[in-house]
Amino acid sequence: MRENWIRSVCLDFGDTLADESTEVKDETETTQQAELIPGAAEALRSLKRRGYDLALVADGRPGTYENVLRQHKLYDLFDVFSISELLGVEKPHRRMFEHALDQLGIPPEDYGRVVMVGNRLERDVRGANLLGLTSVWLNWSPRYGKQPADEHEVPDFEIQSPGQLLRVLDELERRASPAGDA
């Protein structure tokens, strides 16, 4: 079996994995528990089984992602975490993405072999595109804008559910394989 062409899959958290409408927060606004978007847990487990390194690239409080991912027994699937409150910047700031990629040992020349999945055009897609990552917009949440403000917010791929990411990765791997060039 050949090695994956895609080096890593980076994922946003709120309304990409966790359903923000179900969050139960404490007095510090840290989410204590939340339901997942349908298909998110299965997609993460499939990505890990396929051998992809997973990075969480998320804006928000550090305890939020840890609480919810542990609640659903998904925390240990992630290789690295890049969390805005710990870094002092929010997406689309390049440091959010570079922090994760540096931890994974991915050099800038391989950024095109990294997929970023998120629900916000102005944060996730813009940040990924400006860095040369492959952007995948999860068009699931009714809470955020649906129209790109400019060319930097146009995703490379659009999906409506987390499980559809697997087909996108299959397509990218196929395109990269020598047989896919024919």
- Summarised one tens digit per residue, pLDDT across range 49-97 is 999 999 999 999 989 999 999 999 999 999 999 999 999 999 999 999 9
Does position 152 have pLDDT exceeding 90, yes or no?
A: yes
User: Domain locations in the chain?
Assistant: 8-177
Q: Check: CB of residue 101 under 8 Å from CB of residue 76.
A: no
DSSP symbol at 163: G
The helix/strand/coil state of 19 is coil
Per-residue confidence at 3, pLDDT binned at 50, 70, 90? Answer: confident
Per-residue confidence at 45, pLDDT binned at 50, 70, 90? Answer: very high
Average pLDDT for 138-145: 92
pLDDT (tens digit per residue) in 95-134: 999 999 999 999 999 999 999 999 999 999 999 999 999 9
pLDDT (tens digit per residue) in 13-24: 999 999 999 999
Q: Check: CB of residue 165 under 8 Å from CB of residue 136.
A: yes
Cβ within 8 Å of residue 44, ≥6 positions away = 11, 17, 54, 74, 77, 162
CATH assignment of 8-177?
3.40.50.1000
Q: What pLDDT score was predicted for residue 179?
A: 63
Q: Check: CB of residue 114 under 8 Å from CB of residue 7.
A: yes
Q: Which two tokens stand for residue 107?
A: 């050099």
